[in-house]
Amino acid sequence: MKNRIEDGTIRADQVAGGGMVCPGRPFVRGGAARVLAALAAVACLLLAGGGAYAASDDADQALSDAQKLQKAGKTKDAAAAYERFLAGAGDDERAPWVLVQLGDLHAAESRVPEALGAYARVVKKYPDSVDARLARSRMTQLSAAAVNAARDKMKAARTDDERQQAQWEIGTIYEWGSDVTNAALTFREIKNTARQEAWRKKAEAKLSSMVEARIEEAAKGPPVPDEDRWIEIATLAETAEIWGRAAEFHLKIADLVKEPEEKIKWRLKAADDLRQGGETAKALESFLDVLKLGPAGATLDDATRGAGSAYETLNRWAEAIKLYDGYLKATAYAETSAWAWLKLANAEQRTGQIEAALRDYHSLAGKYAKNTLAADALLAVARIAEDSKDFEGAKSLYARVDREYPDTPEATEAKVRLLTLPAKAAEWAKVQAEISKMSDKYSRRERKEE
């Protein structure tokens, strides 16, 4: 470039500085050309850098003003000056320190949202800076103090509205401090427990907006966000109980991961999201899709349980029976398959296949005697006996459950049923006696007529 300027083969408007192009005219040869070229180059560079120098001077002045105002105790004006510095600082290495100062100023004036916001900006935008650790510490301390104060308000609240207002404040504090998980948990509790519908709807809208904000942030990142980003968003959607969105994000993760086992894992999560969201038909379809991928071990168990529960909810008992029977054969009736025996027998009982149900209940109780599910099976057989008026058989089975599986919920139920059996048996005996009496009466009448 130097030689070309000196010999006059380029124009001054071809000398660029800082992304600018300077106007000019063709150079002439000789000493005058060299002087003109040098002056043009210097002028161009000054023009190009002038804006940057001015911006830097403005930032320095804003920082100087802020420090003077802070020293003079004019915190509000100092905060405004720090904000002016940040607006023009760009990538200035002093920005994290300024944000901490700004947070401290807001905290001193009890402006908790603004203080937490300033500290959070340091942690988020400058995570590797020296000031980030200090900002985290200040943010944690301030959040804890603010949350405790809001909890005191909840305890002292005289009305439901005052209590919900204080609880909402807790969620907001967490959100200001970028503690998204605890914020979502707090708003979820309001959504699920608030007595007033207005608060429940407000919390539901808040949770939805939090999820959408995270999606918007992800969209500003790489063209295809990595699975970690979607995992974070999916977890938030789960916490917020926005199950349809959670399923959508888990499917995105399944598309991003490479290993087949990982794809099965995330597709299974998506199916369970749909189940929890009450979309049973879609959940069933998703569980069946997972089963087609050939899961094994715990994932096979979970997918079969999910599909079976969906069939049961939809009253598709015949398909549930086929599913459980196929699962038991595929797992060679392993020790871990006891739950499927119980499900199969229950489905058979629901469809009126009592003999088949009794056979499978007994198979479960005999094959997996040490499994507490055997107590469920024996209890089911005892109930069938009781419903069939076989009170002695029911009594024997209830006593067995109480004896062999003590301190279990099934044993507690067995004890209660044992106490009610004598009265039921006596009542049934009366009914039978009445039936016998009526039978004898009609029989005598028929003989008399003959």
pLDDT at 445: 56
Q: Say if 56 falls within a structural domain.
A: no
**What are the CA-CA distances from residue 260 to residues 254, 256, 265, 292, 303 (Å)?**
9, 11, 9, 12, 15
The structure tokens listed for 346 are: 């229950």
* Same-domain status, 100 and 215: yes
Cβ atoms of 361 and 346 within 8 Å: the answer is no
pLDDT band at 450 (very low <50, low <70, confident <90, very high): low
The structure tokens listed for 218 are: 């992800």
Q: How many CB atoms lie within 10 A of CB 294?
A: 10
Q: Which domain-ending residue is among 291, 314, 337? A: 314
pLDDT band at 92 (very low <50, low <70, confident <90, very high): confident
Q: Say if 19 falls within a structural domain.
A: no
pLDDT at 4: 33
Least confident range from 15-29, 139-153, 309-323: namely 15-29
Q: Is residue 13 over pLDDT 50?
A: no
* Same-domain status, 236 and 216: no
* Same-domain status, 183 and 113: yes
CATH number where 180 lies: 1.25.40
* Same-domain status, 111 and 212: yes
Taking alpha carbons only, the member of 318, 317, 239, 305 closest to residue 275 is: 305
Q: Which domain-ending residue is among 267, 297, 314? A: 314
* Same-domain status, 216 and 235: no
How open is the CA angle 299-290-258, to the nearest 5 degrees? 85
> Over the chain, what is the mean pLDDT?
84
Domain count for the chain, please give it.
3
Strand partners, 21: 16
Q: Which domain-ending residue is among 288, 314, 340? A: 314
Cβ atoms of 37 and 12 within 8 Å: the answer is yes
Q: Say if 54 falls within a structural domain.
A: no
Cβ atoms of 69 and 78 within 8 Å: the answer is yes
Report d(CA 205, CA 416) in Å as an integer: 46
* Same-domain status, 99 and 205: yes
DSSP line for 263-328: HHHHHHHHHHHHHHTT-HHHHHHHHHHHHHT---THHHHHHHHHHHHHHHHTT-HHHHHHHHHHHH
CATH number where 274 lies: 1.25.40.10
Q: Of all residues in the chain, what percent carry a pLDDT higher than 90?
A: 56
Sign of CA dihedral 350, 351, 353, 357: negative
DSSP line for 364-405: HHHHTTTSTHHHHHHHHHHHHHHHTT-HHHHHHHHHHHHHHS
Give one word for 18, left, alpha or beta, with left for phi > 0 and alpha for psi -120 to 50: left
* Same-domain status, 101 and 216: yes
Q: What is the dihedral of CA 321, 331, 339, 365, to 10 degrees?
A: 100
Least confident range from 24-33, 50-59, 135-144, 364-373: namely 24-33
pLDDT at 56: 64
pLDDT at 2: 38
Q: How many CB atoms lie within 10 A of CB 2?
A: 10
Taking alpha carbons only, the member of 124, 126, 68, 66 closest to residue 95 is: 126
pLDDT at 221: 64
Least confident range from 124-128, 273-277, 298-302, 350-354: namely 124-128
Find the mean pLDDT for residues 410-431: 93
Higher pLDDT: 10 or 394? It is 394
Find the mean pLDDT for residues 50-71: 74
- CB-based contacts of 182: which residues, under 8 Å, 6+ apart? 171, 174
- For 20-55, write each residue's pLDDT tens digit: 333 333 333 344 444 444 434 434 443 444 444 455
Least confident range from 114-123, 152-161, 174-183, 332-341: namely 332-341
Containing structural domain, residue 397: 372-450
Q: How many CB atoms lie within 10 A of CB 97?
A: 18
Higher pLDDT: 21 or 222? It is 222
pLDDT at 222: 62
Q: Say if 86 falls within a structural domain.
A: no
Q: Say if 42 falls within a structural domain.
A: no
* Same-domain status, 233 and 210: no
pLDDT band at 101 (very low <50, low <70, confident <90, very high): very high
Buried b (16+ CB within 10 A) or exposed e, 113-129: ebbbbbbbbbbeebeeb
* Same-domain status, 251 and 166: no
Find the mean pLDDT for residues 155-168: 93
Q: Say if 385 falls within a structural domain.
A: yes
Inter-axis angle of helices 130-156 and 160-176, to 10 degrees?
A: 180
Q: Say if 420 falls within a structural domain.
A: yes
- For 230-242, write each residue's pLDDT tens digit: 898 999 999 999 9
Q: Say if 344 falls within a structural domain.
A: no
Q: Is residue 64 over pLDDT 80?
A: yes
pTM recorded for the entire structure: 0.67
pLDDT at 7: 36
Report d(CA 399, CA 395) in Å as an integer: 6
Higher pLDDT: 225 or 16? It is 225
pLDDT at 442: 65
* Same-domain status, 195 and 300: no
DSSP three-state, residue 179: coil
CB-based burial label for 422 (10 Å; 0-12, 13-18, 19+): exposed
* Same-domain status, 299 and 213: no
Least confident range from 54-68, 105-119, 347-361, 423-437: namely 54-68
- For 325-347, write each residue's pLDDT tens digit: 999 998 887 767 899 999 999 99
pLDDT band at 441 (very low <50, low <70, confident <90, very high): low
* Same-domain status, 231 and 257: yes
